[in-house]
Amino acid sequence: GAGVSQSPSNKVTEKGKDVELRCDPISGHTALYWYRQRLGQGLEFLIYFQGNSAPDKSGLPSDRFSAERTGESVSTLTIQRTQQEDSAVYLCASSLLRFEQFFGPGTRLTVL
């Protein structure tokens, strides 16, 4: 069966531009997470969606970051007015409640 997919796999943008990253979770997985991983660093939690409940946005680093998810399907992470410090790999993961997280391959974002 299909795993978690993310697009684009790589994104190069200029400082100040907006970017939108997409995540397609595994069908039937109610939970969806976004993480950021800077080069050589650990995973930094950004946001968590669970079914139709209000998302947990406690990890978003600034109001330039936002994410949406419709039901239990696709999620998009939007970064407005990108800065160089936003350069990182953005990872999406989905899971059934409290069980193993399955990660997508990530989107490598480079802000010039």
Partner 1 sequence: RKEVEQDPGPFNVPEGATVAFNCTYSNSASQSFFWYRQDCRKEPKLLMSVYSSGNEDGRFTAQLNRASQYISLLIRDSKLSDSATYLCVVTRGGSYIPTFGRGTSLIVHP
Quick one: 34 or 82, whose CB is closer to partner 1?
34
Q: What are the backbone angles phi and psi of residue 86, rounded to the nearest 5°?
A: -80, -10
Residue of 23, 77, 106, 111 interacting with partner 1 (CB under 8 A): 106
Cα(66)–Cα(24) distance, integer angstroms: 17
Alpha-helix runs per DSSP H in 46-112: none
Quick one: 20 or 56, whose CB is closer to partner 1?
56
Cβ(45)–Cβ(33) below 8 Å: yes
Quick one: 14 or 71, whose CB is closer to partner 1?
71
Residues that bind partner 1 (CB under 8 A): 31, 33, 35, 41-43, 45, 48, 50, 56, 58-59, 91, 97-98, 100-106
